[in-house]
Amino acid sequence: MKTKLTLERGDITKIAFDAIVNAANSSLLGGGGVDGAIHRAGGPKILEACMAIRARQGGCATGEAVITNGGNLPARFVIHTVGPVYREGDEKIPVLLGNCYKNSLALAVENGLKTVAFPNISTGIYGYPKEEACGVAVGAVQAFLSEHPGALEEVRFVCFDEENFELYRKKLITDG
């Protein structure tokens, strides 16, 4: 079956999917933005699991992803990925952002998960221009889905702000 690619305006902490993705930092110890919202809503079990991963592998590199329980969230798991801090003209930056989406989806498939929701990684505190980030995110997800047909049931972009929501709406209509 073809994977559904969907869009929602709202708060990702409310999504009852197999996994929601967190725009974390490499310490995995929480922060502001969506990371702060996920840890606040999910409670201490998520942080405990992040600390166990830190003890094992010393955090998470930019573009990589790790998985924890979902604590008190409606989602069963949280996939924590670390987006790049934006730097204009650096060719590695879009590659690293694309890796966040690709590696998060790969981790979901490895764990037998079927539904995954993403926030707009790097477009808040990390300063990635929203339109460019939208192009990278949609491109990376579509590439993964065409390479792994039927592996997932639904991938959803959850946009907190109106600007991102409109960009994704236009992009997803354009891409069919």
Catalytic (active-site) positions: 35
33 binds ligand AR6 (CB under 6 A): yes
Which of 5, 7, 37, 51 touches ligand AR6 (CB under 6 A)? Answer: 37
C-beta of residue 13 within 8 angstroms of C-beta of residue 73:
yes
Size of the site for ligand AR6 (CB under 6 A): 25
125 binds ligand AR6 (CB under 6 A): yes
Q: Both tokens of residue 173?
A: 């209509």
Q: Both tokens of residue 150?
A: 């039927």
φ, ψ (nearest 5 deg) of residue 118: -115, 140
DSSP letter string, 72-83 = TSSSSEEEEEEP
131 binds ligand AR6 (CB under 6 A): no
34 binds ligand AR6 (CB under 6 A): yes
* Closest separation in Å from C-beta 50 to ligand AR6: 11
98 binds ligand AR6 (CB under 6 A): no
Edge-to-edge order in the sheet of strand 65-69: 4-9, 154-159, 115-118, 19-24, 77-82, 65-69
Q: How many other C-beta atoms lie within 10 A of the C-beta of residue 56?
A: 8
Q: Which is nearer to ligand AR6, 42 or 119 (CB)?
A: 119
Per CB under 6 A, residues contacting ligand AR6 are 11-13, 23-25, 31-35, 37, 83, 119-126, 158, 160-161, 164
